[in-house]
Amino acid sequence: MLEQGSMVFVGSDVLEIMSIAMYAEPLVIYRELIQNSADGIERATRSGLLASNQGAVSVTFDPLSRTVTVLDNGYGLPDDEFDHQMLALGASSKRTESYRGFRGIGRLAGLGHCRKLVFRSRAKADRYVSEASWDGLKVRDAMLRPGIVALDHVMKEAVSIARVPASDEPEHFFEVRLEGVRRLPDDRLFDSHKVANYLSQVAPVAFSRSFSLADRIKSELLRRTPLLEVRLTVGGRDVFKPYEDAIEVRKGRFSSIRDVQFVEVPSTDDQVAAFGWIAHTDYLGALRHNYPGRGLRVRSGNLQVGEDDLLARAFPEERFNAWSIGEFHVFDARLRPNARRDAFEPSVAVDDLFNQLAPYGNAIAKRCRLESKKRQVAKRLESVNSSLDDLEKHLRRNRSTLANAVRQYIYEQLASQLGELQSLSRALLDDAAAEVVLKTEHRMKQLLRRKSKESRRPSQRDLGQLDAVRWLYSSGQEALIGRIVADLTRFGANRKLIKDS
């Protein structure tokens, strides 16, 4: 127990830990600001200031002053709340309410990336606009001083609060300005395309109208939960979720969405812990690493939690998550994002979520393997038919007895392959592949029958020559085979055919 009169000393390093050092990815600044805007818009909707589809957030860039402004039309902070909220660290009035931000940390995420961080707000009944300004240079300077510097001393030096008469500002709004944004090597904080691409994945925005599953997915979600969506513009352009009907697996190769599966995950108290959708594609392979819709993703309050690999361990092999597309919205209050929002706080409910999603991960992995095998069958069938094309072309002008023996040998090899492919296609329940196998087999028999009539039965000498050709091929003497076959049968153009067989 502390003795009466004892003081707890809080150093300035706490401010660094709670702001600058909290997030490794600078773009997270925008997620935290949009999260607060979403809460302000939801508060305005609940109070009747906004209709359910009127919430809006804009992110604008001023290249001359290198200032980024994030403005929303949410409830705003009234005068009597503003000072406390802007000066509180790790304390938020939203902790007991169903809002997305509740730790009172995220608004300061940009402090280490700009010269000045300014908050401006107005609630509907207020005559003044409240302003709080954090001097990023003074904060960083205090952190570099030798010795221990008290947190309250730093804040007195670096933070100022003022009230200014409202002029042409909206009746209710919240605005954040990052002035003098630092220039990173790729300048991602000031690159509207990178910012929009990032926010399209994490922000509570709508699906693009070009995504054919949009209405179906939204309808299923609304049956289970209210869904906050905001109109978000970045650099003057609307931002939507990144999902598309056709996805580029690699350059020039696209995988199409064929169907969507809806999944309810029950909680231990017989409620719905999560609801999600999985888009089933052609499963041509892992989606390109920079596709913003890759992987099964998780959302809480319609904001993304973690990255595209958060649910990877629900798969028997984590790599199959990269073949997948889908989202799971969590409703269980015990599934709570951690402070960085890059995962969930450990709990039995989180373990149960992964356990219940594992069968769906297994099913996706099974479909990935199945589609891969089907493509292998199709590729081998194409190779067999290509060999038959070569065989037919060369035998039009080669009717020697050795040519006939070579033809018989090639037929046996291809017939063996076809039998294997027929069994595989049946196991895969691929009727289309089985039909192609039958057609190819019929073609082979017709080719053999037709050509057999054009040459006599091979002699023992011919068969001996063919045995020699086989032995030479197995020994890697392909060039010698070509010369021998050319000398014996005028079949020299068929080296590739013998190799393929």
- CATH class of this structure's domain 13-188: alpha beta
- Distance, C-alpha 199 to centroid of its chain: 13
User: Strand order of the sheet with strand 128-135?
Assistant: 159-165, 128-135, 114-122, 173-181, 67-72, 56-62, 231-234, 237-239
Angle at 232 between CA 218 and CA 82, to 5 degrees: 115
Q: Are strands 56-62 and 231-234 parallel, antiparallel or unpaired?
A: parallel
The amino acid present at 141, given as its one-letter code, is D
* Confidence (pLDDT) at 45: 94
**What whole-number distance in Å separates Cα of residue 472 and Cα of residue 463?**
14
Positions of the chain with pLDDT lower than 50, given as ranges: 1-2, 5-9, 95-96, 102-103, 452-455, 488-501
Exposed e or buried b per residue across 41-60, where buried means at least 16 C-beta atoms within 10 angstroms of its C-beta: bbbbbeeebbeeeebbbbbe
The C-alpha atoms of residue 106 and residue 30 are separated, in whole angstroms, by 10
Specify the pLDDT at position 490: 44
In the chain, domain spans? 13-188, 222-345, 368-500
C-beta of residue 360 within 8 angstroms of C-beta of residue 274:
no
The span from the CA of 348 to the CA of 269, in Å, is: 13
Report pLDDT for 400. Answer: 58
- Beta-carbon contacts of 433 under 8 Å, excluding residues fewer than 6 positions away, are 374, 377, 378, 381, 421, 425
d(CA 149, CA 147): 6
- Could you name the CATH architecture of 222-345? 2-Layer Sandwich (3.30)
Identity of the residue numbered 380: R
**Spatial distance between the Cα atoms of 296 and 361, rounded to a whole number of angstroms:** 9
Instruction: Tell me whether the CATH fold assigned to 13-188 matches the one assigned to 222-345.
Output: no
pLDDT at position 362, please? 95
Sign of the dihedral defined by the CA atoms of residues 279, 284, 290, 291, in that order: negative
Q: What is the pLDDT of residue 105?
A: 65
162: number of Cβ within 10 Å: 11
Residues 6+ apart with CB under 8 A from 116: 133, 134, 135, 136, 137, 177, 178, 179, 180
| Reported pTM | 0.79
E strands, 9-55, are none
Cβ neighbours around 345 below 10 Å, total: 12
